[in-house]
Structure 1
Amino acid sequence: MSSSSEAAAEVTAVLRSLRGVWDEPTVDEFDHAMQAGWHARVDGASDELVLAAVLHDVGRSPLLPGPEPHDRIAREWLTPRFGARVGWLAGAHVAAKRFLADTESGYAAGLSETSVDSLAHQGGAGGVDAAWTTHPWWPDAVRLRRYDDAAKVVGAPGMEIGEIGILAGRIADRSAVERRSRGVPW
């Protein structure tokens, strides 16, 4: 990614491709993304966590290759564009659901029917390797999971796509500077 305007355009295109993509019966993936970002912003999350919250399900976009699990696609697509933290956080949202379902009383009972079904396909509650839960970004992955769970309400507030484009450009620029300082070519 060579410029903030390219990052903003790419994110905007991918987000728009989520309009009409349904995982939950209540909101499409576009509205889900906007609501997840709104929850992160209201919670005072860092820019990187807000962007990861918005783009955690980007692997469901028809513009991105499959058929790998959507969390892996998100991580692999986001990391070179926005840095390791954004990619890792988005990629950890399924592990965080499995962890919470195993460790937090009542968590699984509060999941939507679709999320309960996907949990079963994702390996069920538990089985989360310590490499996840001991990672320094793990607490933010759990926060992202909660934004994800809350972002399934018809008509709920969400971020504006233009705001997300600006945020994506800012993070892409910071990520590029960081990569150059470490001598990483991409």
Structure 2
Amino acid sequence: MSVPEQTRAVLESLRGVWDEEDVDELDHALQAAAQAIADGADDGLVLAAALHDIGHSPLLATESDTHDRVARAWLTPRFGARVGWLAGAHVAAKRHLVATEPGYADGLSAVSVASLRAQGGAAVDPAMTGHPWWPDALRLRRYDDAAKDPAARGADIETVIAVAHRVAAARMQP
């Protein structure tokens, strides 16, 4: 199975998986992708936004690891270190924004507030904040936060698969 076909299978497996109260994980993924596209993000960031929560997929979820680590582990060999790192950093970005941005926590969904407690609460990780991709991790986090609206339109799966194909093909070029 090609990388784009694997990506489609994982995305489609998110239909009916509920982490948030208002949208399932597939709608959340497609809304996050749409947020990134509207923001003018590059293909790698769009793909990381779309796939940041794939650790919730029944095809990938594991009891022994967190969803952000599962996403990073699955994405990195298929789409490169940046896409994997960005998806893997979305929890650290939330913790950072709660710790550093007044009022940020007030805008989190109830589910996100509950998961924040399980993730260790507000924190600043200097190893993350000094990383060259950190600004894009914060952008991804904001796409994540905005992608929980049952009335919002997301990108379509074909758009995400086309982005996945471009990112995977770019990795194969010398």
What interval of TM-score do these two structures reach, taking the shorter chain for normalisation? over 0.9
For 2:56, the equivalent position in structure 1 comes to 60
Indicate the RMSD between aligned Cα atoms, in angstroms.
Answer: 1.0
Q: How many residues align?
A: 173
Q: Sequence identity, in percent?
A: 62
Q: Based on CA coordinates, which of the two structures has the bigger radius of gyration?
A: 1
1:108 to 105, 109, 117: 105
Residue 95 in structure 1 maps to residue 109 in structure 2: no
Q: Which sections of structure 1, spanning at least 5 residues, go unmatched?
A: 182-186
Cα drift, residue 8 of structure 1: 1.5
Between the aligned partners of 2:4 and 2:121, the Cα distance in structure 1 is 35
Does the Cα contact within 8 Å between 1:6 and 1:169 map onto a contact in 2?
A: no
- Runs of 4 or more, structure 1, over 3 Å off, are none
1:44 pairs with 40, 43, 46, which one? 40
Separation (CA, whole Å) in 2 of partners of 1:72 and 1:164: 21
The partner residue of 2:18 within 22, 42, 47 is 22
TM-score, with length taken from structure 2:
0.97
- Cα deviation, residue 35, structure 1: 0.1
Q: Residues of 2 paired with 1:87 and 1:156: CA distance?
A: 26
Cα offset, 1:65, TM superposition: 4.2
Q: Please, which moves more after superposition, 16-25 or 61-70?
A: 61-70
| Counterparts of 1:36 and 1:87, CA distance in 2 | 16
Instruction: Provide the residue aligned with 1:117 in structure 2.
Output: 114
CA contact (8 A) 2:61 2:67 kept: no
Task: Tell me the CA shift for residue 174 of structure 1.
Answer: 1.2
